[in-house]
Amino acid sequence: MKTWLVNTNTKERNGNPNAFKYMLRQNKAAAFYDRAPEVDKISKGDLVCLYHNQNRIIAIGAVVAPYLGHDFGDYEEIEHWVDVNWLWKAELDADYEPMNSIDRHDLGITMVNGTVVNVTEQVNYKVLLAKVAERQSF
User: Which domains does the chain possess?
Assistant: 3-135 (3.10.590)
pTM of this prediction?
A: 0.89
For the stretch 113-129, pLDDT in tens is: 788 999 999 999 999 99
C-alpha dist (Å) from residue 127 to 34, 66, 79, 87: 33, 27, 32, 15
Nearest Cα neighbor of 120 from 106, 135, 109 is: 109
- The continuous run of DSSP H or E covering 26 comes out as helix 19-26
Q: Is the dihedral of CA 90, 93, 99, 102 positive or negative?
A: positive
For the stretch 33-82, pLDDT in tens is: 888 899 999 999 999 999 988 789 999 999 999 998 866 666 667 889 99
Give strand pairing partners of 5.
49, 117
C-alpha dist (Å) from residue 34 to 27, 41, 49: 22, 15, 21
Which pLDDT score is estimated for 74? 63
What 3-state class would DSSP assign to 34? Answer: helix
CA distance 104 to 119: 10
